[in-house]
Amino acid sequence: MKIVIVSDSHLDVYPLEELLSIYSTEVDGFFHCGDSELSENHPIWEKMVTVEGNMDFPGNFPLTYSETIENNKIFMTHGHMHQIKLTFDRVIEEANKEKATIILYGHTHIPRVDIIDNKIMINPGSISQPRGEIRSKTYCILEVLNNQGKVTYFDNNHDPIPQLSSTFVYEK
């Protein structure tokens, strides 16, 4: 499994179109963790799935999204409704209901990977308004092969950011 994960693009559609152009033949899916601020009718959503963020018009997108790719159950949310800035407890609880082992979220604009209760939690950062220690506009690619996982972060010039990237053992 190989997926592109992006979040918090805040009306900037160009990087989303660029990601589709670059990776369309290389990945199994494109996931946007909310705050696109785009219309639900925008053509980008024909190839990319998204959830509602706190800056999106309420009701245009689902609050959560789940999908299974190659036996990997993915749960995606923006995070604002799960108090993601304070705790992972609520999002983990909801992911458990979905039997998901991969959690994608946004909202904080800070790229990070955590493994909690055998769940891979990934925030791709923001492709338009970065926050935190590393001030690069970011997105990431998650690759899972058997029980090996790898998250590679990239800046908006598509250069890898090694200090953010990580590998891990993944038990489904």
What pTM does this model have?
A: 0.97
Summarised one tens digit per residue, pLDDT across range 89-98 is 999 999 999 9
Summarised one tens digit per residue, pLDDT across range 75-130 is 999 999 999 999 999 999 999 999 999 999 999 999 999 999 889 999 999 999 99
What is the distance between the alpha carbons of residues 163 and 5, in angstroms, rounded to a whole number?
A: 18
Contacts made by residues 12-15, CB under 8 angstroms, sequence distance 24+? 12/127, 12/128, 13/38, 13/42, 13/44, 15/127, 15/128, 15/137, 15/139, 15/156
Contact 104, 76 (CB under 8 A): yes
Taking domain 2-169, whether its CATH number is 3.60.21.10 is answered by yes
Q: What is the pLDDT of residue 39?
A: 96
